[in-house]
Amino acid sequence: MNLHLALFLIFGAICVAGAINLLVQRHPINSALSLITVMASLAVEYLLLGAEFVAAVQVIIYAGAIMVLFVFVIMLLNAGEEERSGGSRIALLIGVPGMILGSTIVAWVLLEHSATGSVSIGALPGDPKKIGWLLFHDFLLPFEVTSVLILIAIMGAVVLASKPELSSRGEKER
């Protein structure tokens, strides 16, 4: 039992617990908080792998921005507890067995056929300078494309979320 494995197991357990809690909780804000827990412990897992920049960005972007948006929307819509409605038999009859089948196969393959490599703590230091170099040289085009993507997403979000009656009211005022 070395330090790396111990830390991995501790935070992995927190991760899984958070993920399961996300499923079990009926109130969305609890699910959101569980997800934040998952993300935070994932950030620690990244640190264990040496990806410190990714870990920091994970916290800042995921926990600090995306999840804040979720919490914000939950607060804004004042979402209550989940209703129990029997909407879809197919999801339960086909989807869940499919999911279980798929994950079983993947787990079996991972454990039986590819469990050869292992990683040590801080295996690959994710130095911000190197990452920046890669991002702005080797991956410049994808980077620019994603920037366009996010610009479009911003505009789309603004259009979608703006109240439709806003324009008609504006016309009335005129």
Partner 1 sequence: MVPLSYYLVLSGILFACGILGFLIKRNIITIFMSIELMLNGVNLSFVAFAAHWQHLSGQIFVFFVMVVAAAEAAVGLAIIIAVYRTRATLNVDQVNLLKL
Partner 2 sequence: MLSFETFLIAPVIKIVIAVFVLLTAVAYTVWLERKVVGHIQNRWGPTRVGPFGLLQPLADGIKFIFKEDLTPPHVYKPLYIAAPIIAVMCALTSISVIPIGNAIRIFGYEIPLQITDLNIGLLIILGITSVGVYGVALAGWSSNSKYSLLGGLRASAQMVSYEISLGLSLVGVLILSGSFSLQEIVAAQSGSWFHVIPKWNIFQGQIVAFFIYLTAAYAETNRIPFDLPEAETELVAGYHTEYSAMKFAMFFMAEYANMITVACLATLLFLGGWHGPIFGPPILQAVLPVAWFFLKVVGFLFIYIWVRGTLPRFRYDQLMAFGWKFLLPLAIANLVITALVVALKS
Partner 3 sequence: MTENLHLWVIPILPLIGAAINGLLGRRFSRQTVVAIALAASGAAFAMALWVASQFSSASAPYVTYVAPWIRAGNFHVDFSFYLDQLSLVMLLVVTGVGFLIHIYSVGYMWEEGGFYRFFAYLNLFMFFMLTLVLAKNYLLMFIGWEGVGLASYLLIGFWFTKDSAAAAGKKAFITNRIGDFGFLIALFLLIKNYGSLDYTQVFESISKLPSETAGVGLLTSIGLLLMVGAAGKSAQIPLYVWLPDAMEGPTPVSALIHAATMVTAGVYMVARSHVVFDRAPSALTVVAIIGTLTALFAATIGIAQTDIKKVLAYSTISQLGYMFMACGVAAYSAGIFHLMTHAFFKGLLFLAAGSVIHAVGGNQDMRYMGGLKKYIPWTYRTMTAGTFAIAGIPPLAGFFSKDEILWKAFSSPQGSWVYWLIGLITAFLTSFYMFRLWFMTFFGEFKGDHATSHGANDSHGHGHGAPHESPMVMVVPLAILAFLSVFGGWIGGRLEHFLSPVFSGGLAEATEVVGETASKGTEHLFMGISIGVALLGWYIAFLLYRQRPDMPARIATGLGGMYKAVVNKYYIDELYAALFIKPLIDGSTAILWHTVDQGVIDNSVNDAADSARHASDAVRHMQSGNLRSYAGWIAAGAAAVIAYMIWMGVR
Q: Which residues of 106-115 are buried (b: 16+ CB within 10 A; e: fewer)?
A: eeeeeeeeee
In the complex, the residues that contact partner 3 under the rule CB under 8 A are 87-88, 90-99, 101-102, 105-106, 109, 113
Q: Which does 75 bind (CB under 5 to 8 A by kind): partner 1, partner 2, partner 3, none?
A: partner 2
* In the complex, least distance from residue 66 CB atom to partner 3, rounded to whole angstroms: 21
Closest C-alpha to 82, from 29, 6, 147 = 29
* Residue 63 makes contact with partner 2 by CB under 8 A: yes
Q: At what angle do helices 28-48 and 67-77 cross, to 10 degrees?
A: 180
* In the complex, least distance from residue 61 CB atom to partner 2, rounded to whole angstroms: 9
How far is it, in rounded angstroms, from Cα 35 to Cα 17?
A: 10
Binding-site member from 107, 167, 168, 169 for partner 1 (CB under 8 A): 107
# residues near partner 1 by CB under 8 A: 88
* In the complex, least distance from residue 22 CB atom to partner 3, rounded to whole angstroms: 16
Closest C-alpha to 44, from 82, 6, 68, 12 = 12
Q: Which does 105 bind (CB under 5 to 8 A by kind): partner 1, partner 3, partner 2, none?
A: partner 3
How far is it, in rounded angstroms, from Cα 116 to Cα 105?
A: 18
- Residue 102 to residues 123, 129, 133, Cα–Cα distance (Å): 30, 39, 38
Structure tokens at 37: 């827990």
The count of residues in the chain is 174
Binding-site member from 10, 24, 65, 92 for partner 2 (CB under 8 A): 65
Positions in 15-34 near partner 1 (CB under 8 A):
15-16, 19-20, 22-23, 28, 31-32
In 10 A of CB 53, how many CB atoms? 17
Which residues of this chain interact with partner 2, rule CB under 8 A?
29, 33, 36, 40, 52-53, 56-57, 59-60, 63-65, 68-69, 71-72, 74-76, 78, 127-129
